[in-house]
Amino acid sequence: MDIRLKSLSDPALAGFDTIIDTRAPSEFLEDHLPGAINLPVLSDDERAQVGTIYKQVSPFDARKIGGALVAANAARHIAGPLSGFGGGWKPLVYCWRGGQRSGAFATILSQIGWRVGRIEGGYKAWRALVVARVEAPVAPPVIVLDGNTGSAKTEILLRLAKRGHQVIDLEGLANHRGSLFGAMPGGQPSQKLFESRLAMSLEGLDPTRPLLVEAESSRIGEVNLPRGIWQAIIAAPRIRLAVPVQARAAYTAQSYADACADPRRLTRIVDSLRPLHPGDHIDGWLRMIDSADWVALSAGLMRDHYDPRYEKHRARHDDGRGAVVALDSLSDLEVATSAVEAALAAQKPA
């Protein structure tokens, strides 16, 4: 039974117990349907081997060898991860284009007696839906939470989400805090996987309610913001957090404790800034790393590196008419969140 997906939230997906991606592990790692498990019918090496035979020997020989490998891998999956499923289990399988790999696996599973579905067009059809979603204009009215580095924008957004506001945490989806020191454990998703995560977040929005996002550049770490969300960010009204440097530095030193635990990495990053700053600035920051003076380091980087860049970015995308929330301290983020919430109540989304 082939399933043609009409949207990312197609009700047909809910009719299956397990979504199985039969592609090679590297293909699955790059991107996959949400919640899918990877049961490859060809490993990366096997896929390369079959492709080489197809080109250098003949398509028939490639299919013959590929068929044997698919059968062996299918047997391993049935005896292993699938061994506990009863006769009522309904799997949905897909491969790259809904072709030979998923077709062969689906045939074997259906012969056992399971009611198997297959995604028509495979991952390629899913990817087309993702691209359409992230390239399209964002439906809800957008409000941007702005503020210089260390203003606790992400934490305040997450608290607003807990209070019932509609929020997309772009840095959470990108698994990166959006700064030179912002790498997170586990690394970033691929561009395609980031777009799939974003597309699913957009899919679930209420178009009648404002959407809150953080002010970002067009790039978060190594991933790029797709056109839809980026155009919404640069056109949206803003609420700007105005927080003194020392308060931001204290907050940053605390929230970046994981980065501070690796002084050698900090040294490499600071040293990479030499083309952008006078040598005495760089040397001073390196001495702060040596002495573990994280508040001073944060303050210095904010004054001389981050704040000037934020102001240039703001000059391009902020018309200056948005609300300003002045915070003397970030020691109580519930109070800060309430102040932003009050500004939201008076804000008119685009």
d(CA 13, CA 7): 10
- Chain centroid to Cα 113, Å, comes to 38
Query: What does each of the 350 residues of the chain score in pLDDT, given as a tens digit?
Result: 899 999 999 999 999 999 999 999 999 999 999 999 999 999 999 999 999 999 999 999 999 999 999 999 999 999 999 999 999 999 999 999 968 899 999 999 999 999 999 999 999 999 999 999 999 999 999 999 999 999 999 999 999 999 999 999 999 999 999 888 999 999 999 999 999 999 999 999 999 999 999 999 999 999 999 999 999 999 999 999 999 999 999 999 999 988 888 999 999 999 999 999 999 999 999 999 999 999 999 999 999 999 998 888 887 877 777 899 999 999 999 999 999 999 999 876 55
Type of residue at 216:
E
Report helix, strand and coil shares of the chain as percent, to nearest 5: 55, 10, 35
d(CA 137, CA 121): 25
d(CA 218, CA 228): 11
Q: How is residue 65 written in tokens?
A: 């060898």
Q: Are the beta carbons of 54 and 65 closer than 8 angstroms?
A: no
Residues annotated as catalytic (active site), given as ranges: 95
Q: Which residues, at least 6 apart from 154, have a Cβ–Cβ distance to it below 8 Å? A: 169, 171, 172, 177, 214
